[in-house]
Amino acid sequence: MRITSFQRRALLRGKELRSQPFPIGGSMLRYWKSYVLVCALTAIYAGGTWSMNLPAASFGALGFLLGFLARDVAWLRVTKRMWPVNVEITNWEKVDELLGQPAE
């Protein structure tokens, strides 16, 4: 089985985290550019709608942003709770074997 570069990065990340608790904050910081982009676009939209005297749309945009962040935190909390099980059931020898192959 050949793995993609994305799969390779995920397996390497799993290997480096397997001996420690799953980091929620660290996982969010890995994708800080995406969060900054979404926050900036939402702020621009909210500011624009506020300047057009559409406060409901502005508050809706901020609600969207809070929901976006809450969804990610909730998903990461579930991952953190399941992390010890994932580490236990993963065949790390197979992971090492897959990482020894070139990526597609």
Q: Tell me whether residue 68 is exposed, middle or buried, using C-beta atoms within 10 angstroms of its C-beta: 0 to 12, 13 to 18, 19 or more.
A: middle
pTM value > 0.85: no
pLDDT digits (tens, 9 = 90+) for 57-69: 999 999 999 999 9
Q: Given a cut of 90, is residue 84 above it in pLDDT?
A: yes
State the Cα–Cα distance between residues 91 and 73, nearest whole angstrom.
27
pLDDT digits (tens, 9 = 90+) for 27-58: 999 999 999 999 999 999 999 999 999 999 99
- Domain residues for the domain of 91 are 5-99
Could you tell me if residue 104 is inside a domain?
Answer: no
Q: What is the mean pLDDT of the chain?
A: 94
Q: Given a cut of 90, is residue 92 above it in pLDDT?
A: yes
- Indicate the length of the chain as a whole number: 104
For residue 31, what pLDDT is reported?
Answer: 92
Residues 6+ apart with CB under 8 A from 29: none
Could you tell me if residue 80 is inside a domain?
Answer: yes
Work out how many domains the chain is built from and give that number: 1
Could you tell me if residue 91 is inside a domain?
Answer: yes
Could you tell me if residue 32 is inside a domain?
Answer: yes
User: Residue 79 in contact with residue 22, Cβ under 8 Å?
Assistant: yes
pLDDT band at 104 (very low <50, low <70, confident <90, very high): low
Q: Given a cut of 70, is residue 21 above it in pLDDT?
A: yes
